[in-house]
Amino acid sequence: MKKGSSPGPTPARAVVLGSTSRYRRELLGRLGIAFQVAAPEVDEAALPGEGPAALASRLGLAKAQAVAERFPGAVVIGSDQVADLDGEALGKPGDHANAVAQLSRMRGRSVLFHTALSVVCRETGFQQQDVAVVRVRFRDLSDAEIESYLRREQPYDCAGSAKSEGLGIALLDAIESDDPTALVGLPLIRTCRMLRAAGVPLL
């Protein structure tokens, strides 16, 4: 650098989404920032006695940390969602029969969806995490409505077997949340807040 010259702008850090979820990838894409995707490869099994909120929080951080080990200079986003029916964790159904069982249990009831978010940068030591809690009240669905919905949308990769951003909205009476996209899989208000704190410009 020449004497008396000022240093140039610090280059922006890479952003990595530690998730293979197409829903999270689409949501993060709404922010208009460049990012890459990496699979976190984390065991998602609950620990003995671990509740839904604690499970989501632990996995969200574990995913971010696992990917940050491979991308130490990047700002890494990790997230996890667990549906909570009276303290019991409900994960992704995986198939039609499990989805029928989940929706049959949830009809006419309120279910909490814990969507955990962690943002980590190993190089700077930055780490923040939070959990967005969404209360979802399901209608008193008939067996025929459940069957019709599942055949049409096949939401077998969604925690709780319902896609609120699609036809699943017809299953619900109400959604209560302070972060509108949290139910889809990534709370963008919290994501923006943490990315700004990590030094990632958004606007």
Placement of tokens 């940050």 in the chain? 68
- And the tokens for 78? 């990790």
Q: Of 80, 130, 173, 179, which one is the catalytic site residue?
A: 80
- And the tokens for 48? 């003995």
> Annotated catalytic, 130?
no
- And the tokens for 92? 């992704």
What residues form DSSP beta bridges with 134? 113
- And the tokens for 193? 């807040």
Cα separation, 88 vs 125, in Å, equals 34
- Active site (catalytic) residues: 80
